Amino acid sequence: MAEQTAFTDIRADGGGKPDAAVVRDSLGVGVAVGLSGFAFGVTSAGSGLSVWQTCALSLLVFTGASQFALVGALAAGGNPLTAAAGAFFLGVRNAFYGLRLSQLLALPRAMRPFAAHWVIDETTAVSLAQPGRRAARLGFAVTGLTLYVLWNLTTLLGALGAEAVGDTDAWGLDAAGPAVFLALLAPMLRTAAERTVAVIAVLLGLGLLPVLPAGVPVLAAALAVPVVLYLEGRRRAGRRDAEEEKR
């Protein structure tokens, strides 16, 4: 019984993974992604937002996909409300991350509102990859702090740099945001269903782009999810029926 209790305590405290390894992995993710804030700063300034507006987005919103979606829609001439709606729906996924992380991290109640601001793709991935609660907390804190500081610093540098170079379209920097977003998204598409959702979303977005106001095709692309879920459900039901007939 004593050995079993000791093993449980090790799992809860980090599963035996050295703190240095957790910090190294967390810093790697934080630095790699944090540097892409430069692309957001350039894209945002190129879309017409001022330096302080660009920095405020990174400081207060702090979720790259939503930020890129917002400034991308504004750059295309979209309605600000439509652009904000698209960014909001992209950010909803963080609420689901929070449900899982609240159980894993079990932070004190007073810390939860502050930690919620760092609940994003990268901090969630690093935390869930850890073997125990202590390592998950350490990974979450180091990744969140590193990414938040670098993302905001490079956002400022990107916005100032965009003003210095003038017309960002002439340099092709307007493609930086979508390129970074695709680079972050591609490794997450592991299953056939996820890849199908991505393909249908791209087709919907590109197909509706010429006929709908800027920002609306992004919202319409979200319809790919229920379509694929419906087809997947029909396919599984067909398999069950076929197996029952064989019996």
pLDDT in tens, 40-84: 898 888 888 899 999 999 999 998 888 888 887 887 777 788 788
Gap between the Cα atoms of 203 and 228, Å rounded: 13
List C-alpha distances in Å: 157 to 4, 48, 117.
52, 16, 22
Among candidates 189, 194, 204, which has minimal Cα distance to 229? 194
* Residue 116 CB contacts under 8 Å (≥ 6 apart), including other chains: 98
Gap between the Cα atoms of 200 and 171, Å rounded: 30
Among candidates 91, 151, 150, which has minimal Cα distance to 120? 91
pLDDT in tens, 182-205: 665 676 677 888 888 888 888 888
- Orientation of helix 121-128 relative to helix 19-34, angle to 10°: 160
